[in-house]
């Protein structure tokens, strides 16, 4: 009896409390004990972090990167923005000036800012930069060890605000390692790491910050991290731009896409990192407070990344550029854009993402060349470029999307891209015949009489948009008589991609700075010196394993000119022309990221009209939005 | 039952248990190592997919990681190292969260999974068994008939559909319950009243989804069992002898019908160590299931083996316990 009474008593106490808590349901999805008007809630796309208490970003893949650590707490010498930037694309962050190279690019000097302090009160000096390099070079198990060891012969600090790197070989782009595009070599605190026995096994918990925020609390189960504005935020490099708006930042794992939509509709998630196009459309329709990069369709931010059909050019079938071109001419990009992004894609015919500074540097100036570009099918010469494809997509969408679809040609080009290759089955047939393929009974056979089978590898539900693009391309190739098959690799894609175990896959081997015209970010790795033999593991990023003497020459020349040298643009155009002629990958579109921003509590997010930063919240550069955000109302 | 005969039975059963665990763990080892996912490539991909790392440096990193992860030995050497560690209850470091030990990751996730699934399994079992027993005994009761219809209706609904429905109803249309996480954000974990209440509140939706799906099958199973038992001679005789219905139900019918249900409960409780992947994903609930899925995608052999070994042990121990208890509890079960 007494046990029953006790249970009843407990129930009487607990049930009303649960009911009260349940009644305040809105408060359950946001951090407790923090005023909402001081808090910005952002999605961490890494999801639940297994190793929640690990903050040593210099260890290899040990913990989270984009839980706010690289956006709010760490810093490095320079930042380059994929858009316009707060004060131009280039930002001298911990450095006081741009990198200075000697004449033959074997030495780089960085001048550092004065008056920058770690969150524990220790001044940031050149010794921290030196320690960042030496600590990692000494420990091969650290993340940037290999890249630093292969480049740096010595690093010295002649005074507390100057660092001199002597390089093992000429490298005109060495500073890119210390320049945040998404991330970079972050500066570590010497005064903390010098006391640690094994820096690769040190968790760096609680982290000492160099940027404007410090860790406030985190979930041991890895669902959320809360960062608080430093009292001395002026002593961080971000302080130059004024006081950041949010006092607290919460990086959270909001779960699957449907829950992200619900969370933003409930105003419990201010910044959704990315979501399927349908989720974005639902948010745009149901929430007046939601804003994306573009005010209306196509909403998403085009990242400086170029999804493409990537051929394994070491596969005998795809060695011949005529075959690669034939497959390109069998693609109807409008249908691919609709299948992948429901039309909300920014297409690119050339091997450069149609975003940031690139349209003005490459796409627009090369339009005339593209229009005149001819392809010899063996029977005739064709001009495959259609400059109106972007407009056609806009026209196709206008009846259903109405006024959201721009009508100004410049706006159309910015939103949907410019031209692409005309779907030309006849041209493709002639090219395949030229390459020795034959069509028997509606099906193509290879020169040695076997069925022309092409597997298109995709990641399945791990990357649905790309999977939908691949599926549509397979369908189009099948209709043309090719035995095309979708090959869902799921999580095995990185392993198979590196091993060359694919015919083609939908992915990207082109990534750029976006805001800067230099293409070396990806192009240097396309040099034939890095192409692995068949069966061997291919290093990042030339997944197509394509080598070409003319390309080598372009890359070697680029290495000898400075980062800002206008000659690098001309070399970039040479690369574009070569890639068009050879078609080692079929460029499709920018990787549009549907970052949804809720303006209920905060305003001033970066948008296409005010493109001061990339809004995608896992980018290190997204820190610039903190200083532009203002409380709403 | 004679003591000596039971002892022999128990020893044989224990030996069987050891063999099952040994085979299970070996199978898990072989399957995880046969995966086409290379943990080194996955790590490199995770680290470099956003960065600008020179190809030559990647090759260096690849070599370092192979050494660091202990993947450089021959398969036989790796197998022997694995068993040496297992015997010390050490699964080594997680490859996708290096150098954190697998045991630490499993220990962090296990209480969430065990708590949620134990409570929801017991509630679903208790409700389903009790109501199923009543429904099988009293076939004229309208309320219980309705329960049968509801149970039959709920049972075939795919779990994820039901979970999403709950999410939309209680998270969006009538947002009174939290839809994500195991407890409120920024609330320190500990034995405080606030934290305990927050955990209870966050468990309501995931537990409800599991109970709604689970209760149907226990209900239908028990109703069928009781329907058979009530036709037995001893039940008819008890009714004719004027024994009160409640006593017939509790002492004659339910107790006899319960044995298969108890077996099912034990196996279900053993199975909680598998985690509940969909529940954890849909409700963003921490636990072993998500840990396992992430480990599979990352090619993290150590972590996959850690979770599967816990799971193999859980199910095997549950079955062993049932086998050892049966002869003691149910006189109809003879030890041969």
B129 min Cα distance to partner chain A (Å): 22
d(CA A350, CA A616): 24
Q: A235-249, A456-470, B76-90 — which one is most confidently predicted on average? A: A235-249
Which of 114-143 (B) contact A at CB < 8 A? none
Does residue A4 have a pLDDT over 60?
A: no
A338-366 confidence digits (pLDDT tens): 999 999 999 999 999 999 999 999 999 99
Task: Give percent above pLDDT 90 in chain A.
Answer: 85
Give the pLDDT confidence score for residue A492 in this predicted structure.
86
d(CA B136, CA B232): 13
Do residue B185 and residue A25 have CB atoms under 8 angstroms apart? no
From chain A, the residues in CB contact with B284 under 8 A are 48, 223, 253-255, 259
Please give the residue that has the higher pLDDT: either A572 or B300.
Answer: A572
Give the pLDDT confidence score for residue A229 in this predicted structure.
98
- H-helix or E-strand spanning residue A376: strand A375-376
d(CA B114, CA B112): 6
Which of 23-52 (B) contact A at CB < 8 A? 36-38, 41-48, 50-52
Residue A505's contacts (CB-CB under 8 Å, 6 or more residues apart) are: A309, A310, A456, A457, A458, A470, A487, A489, A493, A497, A543
Does residue A22 have a pLDDT over 60?
A: no
Task: Give percent above pLDDT 70 in chain B.
Answer: 94
From chain B, the residues in CB contact with A28 under 8 A are 177-178, 184, 201-202
Strands in A271-272's sheet, in edge-to-edge order, are: A213-218, A224-229, A248-252, A39-43, A271-272, A596-598, A290-291
Which of 239-258 (A) contact B at CB < 8 A? 250, 252-256, 258
d(CA A335, CA A396): 11
Do residue B54 and residue A145 have CB atoms under 8 angstroms apart? no
Give the pLDDT confidence score for residue A21 in this predicted structure.
47
Do residue B37 and residue A525 have CB atoms under 8 angstroms apart? no
Cis peptide leading into A298, omega within 30 of 0? yes
B46-72 confidence digits (pLDDT tens): 777 655 667 777 777 777 777 777 777
Please give the residue that has the higher pLDDT: either B273 or B227.
Answer: B227
d(CA A480, CA A618): 41
A274 min Cα distance to partner chain B (Å): 16
Does residue A97 have a pLDDT over 80?
A: yes
Give the pLDDT confidence score for residue A26 in this predicted structure.
43
Beta bridge partners of A112: A95
Please give the residue that has the higher pLDDT: either A127 or B1.
Answer: A127
pTM, entire model: 0.89
The rounded mean pLDDT for chain A is: 93
Please give the residue that has the higher pLDDT: either B45 or A78.
Answer: A78
Q: Measure the CA dihedral B154/B160/B162/B163, to 10°.
A: 140
Of B38, B58, B185, nearest to A31 by CB-CB distance is B185
B154-192 confidence digits (pLDDT tens): 878 888 899 989 988 998 888 889 988 899 999 998 889
* Tokens matching residue B106: 């499993």
Q: What is the 3-state secondary structure (H, E, C) of A243-298?
A: CCCCCEEEEECCCCHHHHHHHHHCCCCCEECCCCHHHHHHHHHHCCCEECCCCCCC
From chain A, the residues in CB contact with B36 under 8 A are 492, 495-496
From chain B, the residues in CB contact with A18 under 8 A are 197, 200-201, 204
Minimum CA–CA partner of B109 in chain A: A221
Give the pLDDT confidence score for residue A19 in this predicted structure.
46
Does residue A64 have a pLDDT over 50?
A: yes
What value, to the nearest 5°, has the Cα angle with vertex A228 and ends A222 and A232? 145
Q: List the single range of B12-21, B226-235, B262-271 with lowest mean pLDDT.
A: B262-271
- H-helix or E-strand spanning residue B28: helix B3-33
Measured CA distances, A627 to A247, A346, A515, A556, B122 (Å) = 11, 29, 20, 40, 52
Does residue A63 have a pLDDT over 60?
A: yes
Do residue B179 and residue A262 have CB atoms under 8 angstroms apart? yes
B312 min Cα distance to partner chain A (Å): 22
Q: List the single range of A62-71, A434-443, A485-494, B72-81 with lowest mean pLDDT.
A: B72-81
Residue B300's contacts (CB-CB under 8 Å, 6 or more residues apart) are: B39, B94, B95, B96, B97, B294
Do residue B64 and residue A181 have CB atoms under 8 angstroms apart? no
* Tokens matching residue A252: 């959270």
From chain B, the residues in CB contact with A182 under 8 A are 50-51
* Tokens matching residue B66: 């192979």
DSSP B38-91: -HHHHHHHHHHSSS---HHHHHHHHHHHHHHTT-SS-HHHHHHHHHHHHHTT--
Minimum CA–CA partner of A175 in chain B: B52
From chain A, the residues in CB contact with B42 under 8 A are 491, 494-495
Q: What is the average pLDDT across A50-60?
A: 92
Do residue A50 and residue B99 have CB atoms under 8 angstroms apart? no
3 state SS of B303: helix
From chain B, the residues in CB contact with A220 under 8 A are 108, 189
Q: List the single range of A162-171, A561-570, B203-212, B289-298 with lowest mean pLDDT.
A: B289-298
Residue A223 in contact with partner chain B when CB distance is under 8 A: yes
Do residue B108 and residue A221 have CB atoms under 8 angstroms apart? yes
3 state SS of A453: strand
Mutate to test the interface with A, among B55, B72, B160, B206 (most CBs of A within 10 A): B55
d(CA A382, CA A428): 11
Do residue A140 and residue B36 have CB atoms under 8 angstroms apart? no
Residue A222 in contact with partner chain B when CB distance is under 8 A: yes
Does residue B291 have a pLDDT over 80?
A: yes
Of B38, B51, B52, nearest to A495 by CB-CB distance is B38
Give the pLDDT confidence score for residue B75 in this predicted structure.
82
Do residue B56 and residue A255 have CB atoms under 8 angstroms apart? no
From chain A, the residues in CB contact with B294 under 8 A are 47-48, 50
Of B164, B202, B286, nearest to A48 by CB-CB distance is B286
Which of 147-176 (A) contact B at CB < 8 A? 147, 149-151, 176
Do residue A259 and residue B167 have CB atoms under 8 angstroms apart? yes
Residue A145 in contact with partner chain B when CB distance is under 8 A: yes
- H-helix or E-strand spanning residue A532: none
ipTM, interface predicted TM-score of the complex: 0.84
Does residue A23 have a pLDDT over 70?
A: no
Q: What is the average pLDDT across A285-307?
A: 93
Does residue A160 have a pLDDT over 70?
A: yes
């Amino acid at each position: 009896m007494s046990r029953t009474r006790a249970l009843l008593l407990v129930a009487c106490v607990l049930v009303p409390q649960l009911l009260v808590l349940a009644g305040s349901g809105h408060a359950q999805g946001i951090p407790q004990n923090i005023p909402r008007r001081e808090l910005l809630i952002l999605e961490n796309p890494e999801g639940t972090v297994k190793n929640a208490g690990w903050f040593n970003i210099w260890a290899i893949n040990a913990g989270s990167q984009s839980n706010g650590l690289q956006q709010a707490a760490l810093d490095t010498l320079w930042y380059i923005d994929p858009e316009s930037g707060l004060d131009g694309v280039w930002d001298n962050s911990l450095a006081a000036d741009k990198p200075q190279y000697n004449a033959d690019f074997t030495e780089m000097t960085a001048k550092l800012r004065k008056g920058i302090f770690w969150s524990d009160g220790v001044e940031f000096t050149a010794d921290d930069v030196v320690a960042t390099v030496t600590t990692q070079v000494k420990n091969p198990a650290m993340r940037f060890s290999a890249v630093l060891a292969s480049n740096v012969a010595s690093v010295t600090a002649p005074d507390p605000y100057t660092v001199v790197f002597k390089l093992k070989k000429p490298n005109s782009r060495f500073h890119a390692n210390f320049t945040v595009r998404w991330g970079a070599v972050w500066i570590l605190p010497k005064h903390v790491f010098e006391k640690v026995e094994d820096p690769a096994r040190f968790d760096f918990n609680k982290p000492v910050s160099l940027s404007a925020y410090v860790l406030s609390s985190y979930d041991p189960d890895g669902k959320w991290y809360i960062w608080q504005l430093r009292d001395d935020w002026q002593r961080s490099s971000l302080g130059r731009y004024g006081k950041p708006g949010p006092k607290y930042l919460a990086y959270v794992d909001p779960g699957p896409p449907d829950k992200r939509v619900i969370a933003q509709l409930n105003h419990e998630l201010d910044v959704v990192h990315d979501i399927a196009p349908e989720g974005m459309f639902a948010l745009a329709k149901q929430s007046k407070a939601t804003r994306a990069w573009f005010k209306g369709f196509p909403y998403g931010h085009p990242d400086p990344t170029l999804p493409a059909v990537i051929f394994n050019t070491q596969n005998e079938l795809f060695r011949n550029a005529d075959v690669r071109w034939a497959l390109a001419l069998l693609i109807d990009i409008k249908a691919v854009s609709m299948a992948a992004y429901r039309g909300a894609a920014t297409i690119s015919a050339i091997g450069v993402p149609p975003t940031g500074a690139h349209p003005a540097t490459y796409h627009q100036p090369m339009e005339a060349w593209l229009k005149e570009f001819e392809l010899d099918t063996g029977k005739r010469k064709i001009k495959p470029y259609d400059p109106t494809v972007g407009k056609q997509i806009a026209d196709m969408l206008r009846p259903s999307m109405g006024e959201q679809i721009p009508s100004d040609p410049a706006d159309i080009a910015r939103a949907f891209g410019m031209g692409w290759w005309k779907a030309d089955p006849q041209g493709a047939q002639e090219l395949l015949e030229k390459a020795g393929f034959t069509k028997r009974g509606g099906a193509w056979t290879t020169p040695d009489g076997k069925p022309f089978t092409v597997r298109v590898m995709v990641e399945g539900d791990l990357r649905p948009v790309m999977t939908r693009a691949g599926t549509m391309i397979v369908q189009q190739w099948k209709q043309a008589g090719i035995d095309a098959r979708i090959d869902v690799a799921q999580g095995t894609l990185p392993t198979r991609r590196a091993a060359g175990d694919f015919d083609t896959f939908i992915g990207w081997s082109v990534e750029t700075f976006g805001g800067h015209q230099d293409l070396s970010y990806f192009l240097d790795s396309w040099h034939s010196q890095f192409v692995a033999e068949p069966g061997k593991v291919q290093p990042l990023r030339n997944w197509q394993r394509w080598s070409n003497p003319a390309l080598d020459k372009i890359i070697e020349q680029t290495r000898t000119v400075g980062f800002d040298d206008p000659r690098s643009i001309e070399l970039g155009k040479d690369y574009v022309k070569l890639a068009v002629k050879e078609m080692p990958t079929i460029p499709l579109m920018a990787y549009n990221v549907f970052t949804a921003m809720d303006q209920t509590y905060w305003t001033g997010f970066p948008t296409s009209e005010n493109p001061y930063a990339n809004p995608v919240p896992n980018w290190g550069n997204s820190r610039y939005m903190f200083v532009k955000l203002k409380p709403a109302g | 039952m004679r003591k000596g005969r039971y002892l022999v039975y128990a020893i044989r059963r224990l030996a069987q248990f050891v063999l099952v665990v040994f085979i299970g763990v070996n199978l898990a080892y072989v399957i995880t190592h046969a995966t086409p996912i290379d943990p080194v490539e996955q790590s490199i991909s995770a680290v470099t997919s956003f960065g600008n790392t020179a190809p030559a440096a990647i090759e260096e990193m690849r070599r370092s990681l192979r050494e660091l992860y202990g993947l450089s030995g021959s398969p036989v050497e790796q197998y022997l190292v694995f068993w040496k560690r297992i015997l010390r209850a050490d699964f080594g470091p997680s490859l996708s969260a290096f150098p954190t030990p697998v045991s630490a990751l499993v220990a962090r996730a296990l209480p969430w999974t065990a708590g949620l699934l134990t409570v929801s399994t017991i509630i679903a079992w208790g409700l389903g068994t009790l109501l199923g027993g009543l429904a099988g005994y009293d076939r004229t009761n309208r309320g219980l008939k309705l329960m049968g219809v509801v149970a039959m209706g709920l049972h075939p609904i795919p779990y994820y559909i039901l979970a999403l429905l709950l999410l939309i109803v209680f998270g969006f249309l009538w947002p009174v319950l939290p839809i994500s996480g195991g407890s409120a954000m920024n609330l320190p974990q500990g034995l405080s009243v606030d934290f305990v209440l927050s955990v209870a509140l966050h468990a309501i939706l995931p537990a409800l989804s599991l109970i709604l799906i689970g209760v149907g099958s226990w209900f239908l199973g028990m109703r069928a069992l009781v329907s058979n038992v009530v036709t037995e001679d001893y039940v008819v005789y008890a009714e004719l002898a004027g024994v009160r219905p409640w006593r017939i139900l509790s002492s004659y019918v339910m107790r006899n019908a319960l044995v298969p249900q108890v077996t099912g409960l034990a196996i279900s409780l053993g199975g909680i160590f598998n985690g509940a992947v969909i529940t954890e994903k849909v409700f963003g609930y921490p636990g072993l299931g998500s840990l396992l899925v992430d480990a599979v995608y990352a090619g993290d052999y150590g972590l996959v083996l850690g979770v599967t070994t816990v799971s193999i042990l859980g199910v095997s121990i549950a079955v062993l316990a049932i086998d050892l208890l049966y002869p003691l509890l149910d006189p109809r079960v003879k030890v041969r």
